[in-house]
Amino acid sequence: MEVIYEDNHIIAVNKACKEIVQGDKTGDTPLSEMVKEYIKKKYNKPGEVFLGLPHRLDRPTSGIVLFARTSKALTRLNKMFQNKGDIQKTYWAVVDNAPDPASATINHYLVRNTKQNKSYAHKKEVANSKKASLTYSHLASSDRFHLLEIDLHTGRHHQIRAQLAAIGCRIKGDLKYGFARSNKDAGIHLHARKVEFEHPVRKEPVTIIAAPPKDVVWDHFVNHLG
């Protein structure tokens, strides 16, 4: 577990692909419990530690997860995440094909299949669909892969994965959305790179940036961008 930002009201962690944010049927220790234990030990807190979770990241995705350390911060962060304009979230994705055009805003209508735990992207509105919008920019290429930066305008289930796959840009390792092979760590090359928001209590601007996981592909792009 890597803590990348911390104050009296909020704490941010750079999640690894293998880590789960909340407990699930696997029985694996969730990130929320790791953070509670970290706070308990660091500050020698007796009893139960308060920790609120205003958003999620899929297990195979890496990057920033923001937690609230106070109920006041949690209430305000919940409202900020519901109002998408209050928090700017930027992702990096490594994909198999370069998009054309190199940058664009794309809109789809997503239908979630809960049994498959998958979302399907449609060009036009269909029954039970929700509009999804994002802007992508092509940042760099290697001999096999391409790095995209994504700004989310809506927050839908598997939105980036489904929308990029719909334009022929499958995320490395993402078998569910059409990439040919899995990654060794069972993760995918989708990384929550940056969040920008007004501090829920101090009302000051906060920018948090998380380094991507260490592997050959990520390292290539990080070095390329300097």
Confidence of residue 37 (pLDDT cuts 50, 70, 90): very high
Delineate the domains of the chain, giving CATH numbers in brackets. 2-225 (3.30.2350.10)
Host H or E run for residue 198? strand 190-198
- Residue 44 backbone zone (phi > 0: left; psi -120 to 50: alpha; other: beta): left
A 10 A CB-CB count for 43 gives 9
| Token code pair at residue 42 | 């660091």
Residue 67 has φ and ψ, to the nearest 5°, of: -120, 155
Using the CB atoms, write b or e for 80-97: b if 16+ within 10 Å: bbeeeeebebbbbbbbbe
What's residue 38's pLDDT?
A: 96
Could you report the per-residue pLDDT of 95-151, keeping only the tens digit for each?
Answer: 999 999 999 999 999 999 999 999 999 999 999 999 999 999 999 999 999 999 999
| pTM attached to this predicted model | 0.95
What's residue 85's pLDDT?
A: 82
